[in-house]
């Protein structure tokens, strides 16, 4: 089902990107929401409303974080350069108009300018400031260099808003998920992708808690390093609260035609059909 969905929508998204259709923004969100249904991932959401533009920064434990965030909002990911060359997934990242960056300080300014241009054009970007994935039981230090984008100034003179997001896999078939079982959700180190995905699909229904924290600007944080520290602290707090059961997020329908435009519950189907009619 996943392969059929993916390979059916790739040419559609190619056309949408090539002709700069609104569908190019809406289709990835629809695709990610369907992927979560296929993979039996339930998302429970709590905290603040998502900002309209700006940058979301989240902890990163697995490639499964991508469809979760992708289903929540229309946005593009900031990914390491190596992702662009991955089979299939590299193509999917390009079709979602991801920005690929290198982990070299000499390229930092150039890449920050590139990201600033995307933000000035009204795009929302999603960043994993740990720089790599981990076992899902902890948060790695946030790299302050990746927060250089916070120094950007938007066309209206305002600063870019940065919004921290905590992601935690918490339950399996309704029962609390312990440290060992969480490794079946997490993908890190030298794990092979295909065997990991196969094991994950055999698990059952996994509940993932997403906690959205208040956004901040560079002026509010004081400096890039302080912003990285504050975001890291908030993400750790939300992650720990989710793992200990202190957070009580509400299950959110990922496809709900009755509430178009809601945080996660929007249905891009109407937009899809509208763009098909316009293109035709």
List pLDDT tens digits, range 137-147.
999 999 988 89
- For the cut 60, the answer to whether the pLDDT of residue 112 exceeds it is yes
Query: Which of 167, 165, 166 is CA-nearest to residue 182?
Result: 167
At 104 the pLDDT is 67
Residue 188 CA, distance from chain mean position: 17
Hey, where are the domains in the chain?
A: 38-275
Task: For the chain, give the number of residues.
Answer: 280
Q: Return the closest-CA partner of residue 122 out of 73, 77, 68, 75.
A: 75
Residue 218 φ then ψ, to 5°? -65, -35
Read off the pTM: 0.85
| Cβ contact 214:48 at 8 Å | yes
Contact assessment for residue 102 and residue 142, using Cβ atoms and an 8 Å cutoff: no
Q: What are phi and psi of 165, to 5 degrees?
A: -135, 130
**What tens digit of pLDDT does each residue of 151-200 get?**
888 888 889 999 999 999 999 999 999 888 888 899 888 888 888 888 88
Please state the separation of Cα 43 from the chain's center in Å: 13
Residue 134 pLDDT greater than 80, yes or no: yes
- Calpha distance 248→253 (Å, rounded): 16
pLDDT digits (tens, 9 = 90+) for 26-44: 999 999 999 999 999 999 9
Look at residue 250 and give its three-state secondary structure. Answer: strand
- Report phi then psi at 163, rounded to 5: -120, 115
**For the packed helices 269-279 and 23-38, what is the interaxial angle rounded to 10 degrees?**
140
CB 276 within 8 Å of CB 267: no
pLDDT at 255 over 80: no
Q: Does residue 262 carry a pLDDT above 60?
A: no
Query: Does the pLDDT value for residue 215 go beyond 90?
Result: yes
* Cα separation, 35 vs 143, whole angstroms: 30
Contact (Cβ atoms closer than 8 angstroms) between residue 73 and residue 29: yes
Q: What is the mean pLDDT of residues 43-49?
A: 94
Task: Return the residue matching tokens 């559609």.
Answer: 12
Q: Which of the four pLDDT bands, split at 50, 70 and 90, describes residue 91?
A: very high
User: Measured between alpha carbons, how far is residue 256 from residues 16, 40, 261, 265, 268 in Å?
Assistant: 23, 17, 10, 5, 10
Range 38-275: architecture per CATH: 3-Layer(aba) Sandwich (3.40)
* Encoded tokens for 186: 């997490």
pLDDT of residue 88 exceeding 50, the answer is yes
Tokens of 127: 């960043």
Q: What is the C-alpha separation between 264 and 73, in angstroms, rounded?
A: 7
């Amino acid at each position: 089902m996943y392969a059929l969905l993916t390979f059916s929508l790739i040419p559609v998204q190619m056309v949408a990107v090539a002709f700069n259709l609104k569908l190019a923004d809406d289709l990835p969100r629809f695709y990610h929401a369907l992927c979560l249904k296929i993979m039996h991932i339930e998302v429970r959401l709590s905290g603040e409303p998502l900002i309209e533009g700006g940058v979301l920064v989240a902890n990163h434990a697995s490639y499964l974080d991508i469809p979760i965030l992708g289903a929540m909002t229309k946005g593009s990911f900031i990914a390491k350069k190596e992702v662009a060359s991955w089979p299939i997934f590299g193509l999917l990242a390009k079709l979602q108009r991801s920005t690929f960056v290198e982990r070299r300080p000499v390229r930092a300014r150039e890449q920050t300018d590139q990201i600033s241009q995307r933000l000035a054009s009204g795009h929302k970007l999603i960043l994993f400031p740990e720089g790599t994935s981990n076992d899902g039981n902890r948060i790695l230090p946030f790299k302050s260099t990746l927060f250089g984008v916070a120094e950007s100034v938007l066309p209206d003179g305002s600063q870019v808003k940065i919004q921290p997001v905590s992601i935690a896999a918490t339950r399996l078939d309704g029962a609390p998920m312990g440290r060992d079982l969480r490794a079946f959700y997490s993908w890190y180190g030298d794990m092979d992708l295909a065997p990991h995905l196969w094991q994950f699909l055999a698990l059952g229904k996994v509940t993932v808690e997403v906690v959205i924290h208040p956004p901040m600007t560079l002026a509010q944080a004081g400096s890039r390093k302080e912003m990285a520290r504050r975001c890291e602290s908030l993400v750790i707090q939300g992650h720990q609260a989710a793992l200990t059961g202190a957070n009580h997020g509400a299950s959110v329908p990922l496809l709900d035609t009755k509430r178009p435009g809601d945080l996660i519950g929007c249905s891009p189907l109407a937009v899809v059909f509208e763009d098909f009619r316009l293109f035709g």
